[in-house]
Structure 1
Amino acid sequence: MGKTNIRSCLLLVGILLCLAAGSLEAVGQVKVRLSGKVTDREGHPVEQATIAIENSSTGCYSHTDGRYELMVTPGRHVVVVSFVGYETLKMPLRIDGPTTQDFRLKESNVGLGTVEVYGKSQTQKLKEGVFAVNALDVKALASSLNDLNSLMDRTTGVKVREEGGVGSDFDLSINGLSGNSVRYFLDGMPLDSKGSGMSLANLPVGIIDRIEVYKGVVPAHLGTDALGGAINIVTKQEKKNYLDASYGIGSFHTHKADLNAQWVERRTGLIVRPTVGINYSKNDYRMKDVEVWDEEADAYFYADRKRFHDDYFSLLGQLEIGFADKWWADAFFVSGSYSKTDKELQTGSVQTVVYGMAERQTDAWNVAARYRKRDFLVEGLQLNASLSHTWDHSLTVDTAYRKYDWNGGYIVSSRNEITGNKRSMRHYKRPMTLVHANADYALNAHHGFNLDYSMNRTGNDRYDDLDTDFEPSNDILTKHITGLSYYQSFFDDRWNNTFFVKDYVNHANIRQTDSGATTGSNNVRGSITRNYWGYGIGTRFTLAAPFAVKASFEHSVRLPIARELLGNGTTVYANVALEPESSDNVNLGFFGTWRPAAGHTLYYEANGFLRNVDNFIQVQVIEKEGMMQYQNVPAVHIKGMEGEVRYDWQNRLQLSGNLSFQDARDQQQYKTDGKPSATYNNRLPNRPWLFGGAEASYTFHNVGLPDSRLRLNCNYQWVHWYFLTWEAYGSYENKSRIPTQHICNAGLSYSWKNDTYSLSLECSNLLDETAYDNYKLQKPGRAFFAKFRLFIN
């Protein structure tokens, strides 16, 4: 089916939905808002309390600040408020219009019997929305989780491919699109606002509440130009005093320490949140079967050797100060942060090229402010606004005229290690200014609007302390993205629709001129401004609790980022002639939750997707130099399916399994010279296309110590083999391929005194398999990690 036909069909669906919405609005029953706050006897907010209308299916959970909001039919109702450890409260209310009612719960010493749950958690609501999205509860795993990459890699439709050990570069794909096609956010702001060295791998786990993984179609309120999807990391926002500290130690001289805390000054309500995260590893794991030179035999042979130049260190320090639940703001915070990473470089993009002295250092300062207010100026209008500025500086040191091998020895060379040019100390200063504003207006119980604006301005001041041939420049990239959404809800929230449009404005001022033939700066220079449009729809209909269907479509645009357009100063050449990507993304799926008996819950979902991408941006590896460059591929089509099943018994036994198929093929039939392309209809190289996993865990209560829990878990990850380069090149037998992967991990965690103390042990790659990943670079073998956590609430 061509793109024109796809768009015409989806436009027709959108028109029909709008017509249906108009008729339903006429017959829909008017509802009014019931809102307020749930607290304990001391006035502390109670999170996740159930607020429900008796003898109905209407209900919700309270938020982290204790606030709740329900849409109910006018009349007399009995409101039921309950939470584990508190007495259930029942209050008769006469509700004729918008009503505010607070509830105060009393602690209960009576054992809890059967609890009827009316509402849904935030993660469940996201999964059951109109978009294809996974929601991962991180807070429940904070005691045993070491980094976010391992959790993301076990998620349906997501594959994380690391280039080495702790702190190595990695590639994360969602439904076949990866790399910079996927955008990362921290509480709705781009993650790289904390510095270019910050990533999922080194972000402190203890500060995170949940992760939202949007697949293909990204809602307009995130204010981004993502093509393949987006990952939004949501931090904890409880209004209470706590101290959360952890320390971990593992194989290959790995150490991790996190500290985050919160102090609430009771008289003024001032909130102070300090955060510190530290990671260090030598990454001296053993490389298997690498080429080593034998002087006596005057030939290469294959042997096992330890990595000798791969130390990694990262630091994040942040202080956030502000207020919550004031008449003038639901939340107002200002923050300052500093991040630093030091990384020794062991290899380029191929492991036959070995470095022994090159290294990369980054450091970044950030200041930011954010503001949130419900009923801003008028009832029903919520405003979220944020402002951020980052001073980001990276330095790549490449001053050794040496050529190393896996023995750790070297021969004197006439060129540096990475680029093969003069000695270099390359600086990249990339100041980033971010502005984001979102206004959400609930017109009534059935209709609402959302207006979003974001601006991202990134500089690129580059210079070299040693290489006199390098030409300094100061390039500028600026993006303005505006999104407007209209959303609907009918039949007691059983049918939801969202329609949105996005406007993308891209401004680039290219001033660099060096290596013009390679980087394209001979043809592209100066100030350029371009405008693009995107649009989409999403719908979800619940037939019954065990079965619902959803579909979504987006025509999206992704603008090249600084790394793609301007290089990274080490292993990536600039390509200032890159064009933006555009794609038609379609998702269709069904899901449901089935409770066959008390204590038994089965959740399932299955999705199919299409991604028709024009000007696909793909990294090309120059194997001889160990360098990379991003280039446009005229067209790529991706289709696939994925499925997941999860079973839970009394919050003790959890079983899950998932399988993903992602078929991405080159659609360039003819080259620019008119000759047929040998790679036409080939699968894209260096991308897994079939993978899956399974996981099992069991929790024992009151083992050894009172108020304790022992959790045992294991998981298995499988990846089908795939080609490293285009399958059309060379003979089938001699093609370089990344072999099938079978990776097993196991762990246990023990907590006592109601999670005040916890200890976890993990063994990754339990069977010590030789694991290859991105660009066929070896990952560590069997590794152990132990973590102790102290949480004082």
Structure 2
Amino acid sequence: MPAAGQETSFLSGTVQDSHGDPLAGASILAQDLNKTTFTDSTGMFQMTVPFRESYTVVIQHIGYKKLVQKMTQKDLKRGNLVFPLHDDHTQLSEVQILGRTETQQAKLQPIKAEIINTKAVQEQPSTLVELMNRSAGIRIRQTGGLGSSSGLMMNGFQDRAIKNFRDGIPLDYLGAGYNISLVPVNMLERVEVYKGVLPTGLGADALGGAVNMVTKKALYRYAEASYEIASFNTHRASLNALYSDTTRHFFVGTDAFVNRSDNDYKVDVTVTDLETAARRPATVRLFHNQFTNYYAEAYGGLTNLRWADELRVGLTWFHINRQNQYGATMSQPFGASVSRQHSIIPTLRYRKRFGKLGIDQFLTASNIHTAQVDTVRGTYDWYGTFIPSPSRLGEISLRGSLSDIKFSYFTSRTHLSYQLAENHLAEVNVVSTNIGRTGRDPMGLTLPQTGQDILALPAKYYKVVGAAGIQSVFLNDKLTNNLIAKFFHYNTSTINVDIYGTALGEHRSTSENSFGIAEALKYAFTGNTFLRFSVEAATRLPEQDEMFGDGNFHRSNFLLKPEKSTNINLGFRTERRGAYTLEVNSFYRITKDLILKVPVDFLFTQNQNVENVKGLGFETDLSVSLNRWLRANGNFTYQDFRLFDTQNRQTEKARLRNTPYFFANLGLNGTINQVGNRGRMHLYYYFTFVREYYLNYVPKSLEPDGFLGLWGKAKFDAPNIIPNQGLHSAGFTYHPGGERFSIGFQAKNFLNARVYDNFRIQNAGRSLHLKLNYTLK
């Protein structure tokens, strides 16, 4: 590249792996200038630097050996420079929650982000839920086994207050077909977890942060397949394939996966004797809990053209079939009810950089169909025995259900960026979502005046979230500042239904505008030590499924109000390369009208507002290299969120219900090379602990007396207590020779501890998992 005048030059090129595939997210450091940039999705980078005769460039990426390259002005003028990185098997064998490359990326932004390196663990039979639960400050709670509903809790917020993204796009348009409990880790390059303030480019109405699942960015040719077999007749398979022509201007590919499980593990329940009506505890095996889902996406497009960096068209199909064993709690078993969901979803994405201006546009329009079948005339007990009841039309409810609901989605996401100056980047991000609901249920609710099927009446939801921000770097890259302003608008219209599912017949319309602002700072003392601070006045709008329900076990609530919160975050991180990494973070929240999912009427859940909640928390994460082949890591999180100004002596200062307040993780990872001459084995062990917490609000005076409530017993004995839980898992991955084929084995919860999760629903005990991976490049 020619020099810009005689004062500046442009360092540019493409970073590739040993197979010639571009590497996205590689860090490029101009060593003498202490300037850093990163490669884009095509592996390309560009950096403006002061004019010099030569430069020393250091290029790094997780899983690859560091490259140190000297470049002269003669090299720059040639252009089209390619920098190959070679595999580093030592890095690939480690589970790095915050890898070296992402640490360098954090030096350019003060926003807290943890990177879960799925590439390092894609050969393990681990789920994304398990990987995230091993991270500080994060708990994902499921309502059962594979495919069950999952809710994310992070730094005091939970469920929809934490937004989910795929490659920067909100995931709502994919319904239940693609989420953190279903997507195989093989599909992902990494997972970015943002805590507190979000980058402008995500720009969602989140209170507690976001999870961005970044798909694999290889843009040449490869095929990868995996198959996992496990306890409870569990089968998981995935296939990824991509073809690009030699000019790198055209590509086609596919991603597909299947999840299936009987989920027939043993649980502890209360059974009722039909003759004496006496109730007693019993251990039974679940008998109507099967889950199956299919997902397939075909995509293709054009890249590296004069008018487009990338134009991508995709078509996604998914189908879900779920047997319902129980509702929101395990108070009543079902033996025949099923739920289904399916959709075909087209997508379009266009990206281009015109000099200093960058454009990223995403569009999708789809219909997601959900159905619930509940037509058996009777009930089941926990042993699978059918009890006829001619007066019933369904087992879940007396009137039964044969619902068929269509949710129509139109989503547009527009992101613009402009490089105002070398150290100042301006961004604008606008996400608009238009959702409609129509349906039918011949056995369902009707309007009291006309008898009309309530699902036949359209319900509408529209939301737009706009964000504008500027990122600036000062003091020779030591001080980084992000200032972000946001605008929120939503409106809904529908027929109101009360918490018991009764059609009230009144038309309800809601509309609201709100604003938010966030400020995030980071000061780097050295290249490896920095302090991070952020403060935010945030708003989170109710989502359509929180207001409309999901057509299954989640009730509608059209009286739901937006939740608003003031959030403060303070963190410190330091690292000694190859020795240890230490991170400490603290956070404070004061929230009005917090939206919380709660059980109602034993079988159903509903989102309701909690007027006033405040609290603080802190988390610590430490990773240590014990020697060349063994690494240990551990973290813990404590959060104390309580109700205030409740005007109720029983709930004043009570902990937020159904919310863990202390949890911790320990892990060991080791690699043995030259197993059987050519082979390589990676061994690992993980321990997870969750302190007891409470299903409902408990007076503070009844909590344990131990320091911060971390030991001792609560001063009551009731099913409200979700007991202490300790989980041990261990496994290995083995490469017989080379990197193409691997075998992974894991024993999860090998001590068979009782594990409870959302609303005290019991999860599986001990399970064994075997996974085979094959990659062709």
| CA shift for structure 1 position 326 | 2.1
- Residue deviations 1:128-179, cap 9 Å, x none? 7311221111112111143211111111100111111111112210101101
| CA shift for structure 1 position 43 | 7.0
Residue 713 (structure 1) aligns with: 684
Is 1:387–2:363 an aligned residue pair? yes
Residue 464 (structure 1) aligns with: 441
Give the TM-score, by structure 1 length. Answer: 0.88
Kept in 2, the 8 Å contact 1:248–1:788? The answer is yes
Alignment of 1:288-307 (within 5 A): 288=268, 290-294=269-273, 299-307=278-286
Identify if the C-alpha distance between structure 1 residues 616 and 92 changes in structure 2 by more than 3 Å, giving closer, same or farther: same
Alignment of 1:217-616 (within 5 A): 217-267=197-247, 269-288=249-268, 290-294=269-273, 299-374=278-353, 376=354, 379-413=355-389, 414-416=391-393, 419-467=396-444, 469=446, 470-472=453-455, 473-510=457-494, 512-513=495-496, 515-516=497-498, 525-595=507-577, 600-616=578-594
Moved more, 441-450 or 82-91: 82-91
* Aligned counterpart in structure 1 of residue 742 of structure 2, from 743, 746, 758: 758
| CA shift for structure 1 position 219 | 2.2
Identify if the C-alpha distance between structure 1 residues 51 and 134 changes in structure 2 by more than 3 Å, giving closer, same or farther: closer
Residue 137 (structure 1) aligns with: 117
Counterpart-to-counterpart distance in 2, 1:594 and 1:648: 10
Moved more, 195-204 or 771-780: 195-204
Counterpart-to-counterpart distance in 2, 1:300 and 1:632: 34
What is the aligned length?
739
- Residue deviations 1:3-46, cap 9 Å, x none? xxxxxxxxxxxxxxxxxxxxxxxxxxx96643232468997546
Identify if the C-alpha distance between structure 1 residues 629 and 81 changes in structure 2 by more than 3 Å, giving closer, same or farther: closer
Moved more, 145-154 or 273-282: 145-154
Residue 12 (structure 2) aligns with: 35
- Residue deviations 1:371-414, cap 9 Å, x none? 1112x2xx211111111122101001111222221111132233
Counterpart-to-counterpart distance in 2, 1:784 and 1:39: 37
Alignment of 1:45-60 (within 5 A): 45=22, 51-53=28-30, 55-60=32-37
| CA shift for structure 1 position 594 | 1.4
Residue 104 (structure 1) aligns with: 82
Kept in 1, the 8 Å contact 2:140–2:152? The answer is yes
* Aligned counterpart in structure 2 of residue 620 of structure 1, from 585, 598, 602: 598
Is 1:734–2:717 an aligned residue pair? yes
Helix, strand or coil: the match of 1:443?
Answer: strand
Helix, strand or coil: the match of 1:431?
Answer: strand
Counterpart-to-counterpart distance in 1, 2:165 and 2:278: 50
Kept in 2, the 8 Å contact 1:41–1:104? The answer is no
2:467 alignment partner AA = G
Counterpart-to-counterpart distance in 2, 1:271 and 1:558: 38
Kept in 2, the 8 Å contact 1:127–1:134? The answer is no
Kept in 2, the 8 Å contact 1:32–1:445? The answer is no
Q: Name stretches of at least 5 consecutive residues in structure 2 with no aligned partner.
A: 1-6, 91-98, 447-452, 703-714
Helix, strand or coil: the match of 2:762?
Answer: coil
Kept in 2, the 8 Å contact 1:616–1:633? The answer is yes
Helix, strand or coil: the match of 1:75?
Answer: coil
Q: Percent identity?
A: 27
Kept in 2, the 8 Å contact 1:760–1:788? The answer is yes
Moved more, 99-108 or 471-480: 99-108
Kept in 2, the 8 Å contact 1:724–1:775? The answer is yes
Counterpart-to-counterpart distance in 2, 1:319 and 1:61: 28
Residue 712 (structure 2) aligns with: none
Counterpart-to-counterpart distance in 1, 2:217 and 2:86: 25
* Aligned counterpart in structure 2 of residue 202 of structure 1, from 158, 171, 182: 182
Kept in 2, the 8 Å contact 1:60–1:120? The answer is no
Counterpart-to-counterpart distance in 1, 2:153 and 2:208: 8
Kept in 2, the 8 Å contact 1:613–1:637? The answer is yes
Kept in 2, the 8 Å contact 1:147–1:205? The answer is yes
Helix, strand or coil: the match of 2:427?
Answer: strand
1:336 alignment partner AA = L
| CA shift for structure 1 position 648 | 3.3
| CA shift for structure 1 position 270 | 1.3
1:721 alignment partner AA = E
* Aligned counterpart in structure 2 of residue 702 of structure 1, from 674, 685, 709: 674
Identify if the C-alpha distance between structure 1 residues 31 and 594 changes in structure 2 by more than 3 Å, giving closer, same or farther: farther
Identify if the C-alpha distance between structure 1 residues 580 and 154 changes in structure 2 by more than 3 Å, giving closer, same or farther: same
- Residue deviations 1:533-585, cap 9 Å, x none? 01110000001134210001111111111221111222222110111111111
Kept in 2, the 8 Å contact 1:367–1:390? The answer is yes
1:178 alignment partner AA = Q
Once superposed, what is the RMSD of the aligned Cα atoms? 2.9
Helix, strand or coil: the match of 2:759?
Answer: helix
Residue 634 (structure 1) aligns with: 611
| CA shift for structure 1 position 468 | 6.9
Helix, strand or coil: the match of 1:614?
Answer: strand
Counterpart-to-counterpart distance in 1, 2:415 and 2:400: 48
Counterpart-to-counterpart distance in 2, 1:260 and 1:229: 29
| CA shift for structure 1 position 496 | 0.5
Is 1:180–2:160 an aligned residue pair? yes
Helix, strand or coil: the match of 2:53?
Answer: strand
Counterpart-to-counterpart distance in 2, 1:420 and 1:729: 37
Kept in 1, the 8 Å contact 2:621–2:636? The answer is yes
Give the TM-score, by structure 2 length. Answer: 0.89
